[in-house]
């Protein structure tokens, strides 16, 4: 393995929009890093709350922090702009709404001692504040016991890339504002880059606070996938399951048969939802929330997928 001294000059790029509730926590976590970045570049997409004022107050305490305003820019354009203003050969990303652990950046750049490493995938965990959020986390994040079973694709919550790889990739697709990091990871893969997974480069992520926010998140995730021309492996089986279920329900209503079968199918599905994620929660409330979140996630993902295909078919943005 060819090794070299890690270039200590690292740029951290972040985009924000109306993050007055979370930005101080993120900046405090970055200020407390065991390896401090050489510069922190924040691009604000046009916040209408006190986000920019809070960041400007931090600029006085952190001279290496730079704030740029790019009104109406989506996250892709914001990140591309931030990187264009950065100076250094390693570019790290994290997001508003995340709290990097103290050694996040130190762990994230360690793999670059290998000159062959071009893209590093860090990890993320849920910072759940109540039982609903604990139950939501397995539906929104890759859990630790599953993370290393396959190649772990980078997400902007916790990732780093060499500038040479960034330049070759051309950056994020500026037309995408939903799931743009997932699409970018697929683009990097298509260009031939492999991803080095470093599970100790951890940021904590705040889950959505209620079922309505969670439903919107699932909807926009699936909508973003289709807009980026990505169909995840679980989409087709999901539609097939519900199509079979609806067919059996209609057949049962028309023929007064199979009522017991329908009941058993629902029961099995709900037990399955509990069984697959209960080990991550281990709380009695999971017997209620896990099935509810499963159904809401299913319906939101299917609706987002349908709207995504319709928007592509009719040329809507």
pLDDT given for residue 315 in this prediction: 63
For residues 105 and 10, the answer to whether their CB atoms sit within 8 Å is yes
Backbone dihedral region for residue 315 (phi beyond 0: left; psi -120 to 50: alpha; all else: beta): left
**Coil/strand/helix, residue 272:** helix
**Tens-digit pLDDT string for the chain (317 aa):** 344 444 569 999 999 999 999 999 999 999 999 999 999 999 999 999 999 999 999 998 898 999 999 998 999 999 999 999 999 999 999 999 999 999 999 999 999 999 999 999 999 999 998 999 999 999 999 988 888 766 899 999 999 999 999 999 999 999 988 889 999 999 999 999 999 999 999 999 999 999 999 999 999 999 999 988 888 889 999 999 999 888 888 877 777 666 777 788 889 999 999 999 999 998 999 999 999 999 999 999 999 999 999 987 776 55
Architecture of domain 10-207: Alpha-Beta Complex (3.90)
For residues 167 and 82, the answer to whether their CB atoms sit within 8 Å is no
Please report where in the chains the tokens 């592509």 appear, as a residue: 312
For residues 226 and 305, the answer to whether their CB atoms sit within 8 Å is yes
pLDDT given for residue 1 in this prediction: 39
From-to residues of CATH 3.90.550.10 in the chain: 10-207
Question: CB under 8 Å to 43, separation ≥6 — which residues?
Answer: 13, 14, 15, 16, 68, 69, 70, 73, 78, 79, 81, 82
Q: Say what the pTM is.
A: 0.89
**Coil/strand/helix, residue 66:** strand
């Amino acid at each position: 393995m060819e090794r070299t001294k890690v270039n200590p000059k690292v740029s951290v790029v972040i985009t924000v929009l109306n993050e007055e509730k979370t930005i101080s926590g993120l900046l405090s976590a970055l200020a407390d890093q065991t390896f401090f970045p050489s510069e922190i570049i924040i691009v604000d997409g046009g916040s209408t709350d006190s986000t920019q004022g809070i960041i400007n107050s931090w600029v006085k305490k952190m001279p290496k922090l730079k704030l740029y305003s790019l009104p109406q820019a989506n996250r892709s354009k914001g990140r591309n702009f931030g990187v264009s203003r950065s100076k250094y050969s390693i570019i790290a990303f994290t997001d508003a709404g995340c709290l990097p652990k103290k050694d996040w950046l130190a762990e994230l750049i360690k793999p670059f001692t290998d000159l062959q490493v071009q893209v590093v995938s860090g990890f993320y965990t849920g910072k759940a504040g109540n039982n609903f959020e604990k139950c939501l986390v397995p539906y929104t994040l890759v859990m630790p016991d599953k993370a290393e079973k396959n190649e772990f694709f980078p997400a902007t919550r916790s990732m780093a890339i060499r500038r040479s790889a960034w330049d070759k990739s051309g950056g994020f697709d500026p037309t995408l504002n939903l799931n743009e990091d997932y699409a970018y990871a697929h683009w990097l893969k298509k260009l031939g880059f492999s991803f080095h997974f470093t599970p100790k480069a951890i940021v904590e992520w705040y889950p959505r606070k209620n079922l309505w926010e969670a439903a919107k998140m699932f909807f926009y995730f699936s909508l973003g996938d289709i807009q980026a021309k990505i169909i995840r492996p679980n989409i087709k089986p999901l539609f097939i399951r519900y199509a079979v279920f609806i067919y059996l329900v209609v057949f049962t209503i028309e023929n007064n048969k199979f009522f017991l079968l329908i009941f058993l199918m629902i029961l099995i599905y709900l037990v399955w939802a509990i069984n697959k994620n209960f080990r991550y929660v281990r709380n009695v409330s999971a017997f209620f929330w896990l099935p509810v979140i499963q159904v809401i996630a299913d319906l939101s993902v299917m609706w987002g997928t349908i709207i995504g295909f319709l928007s592509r078919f009719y040329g809507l943005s």
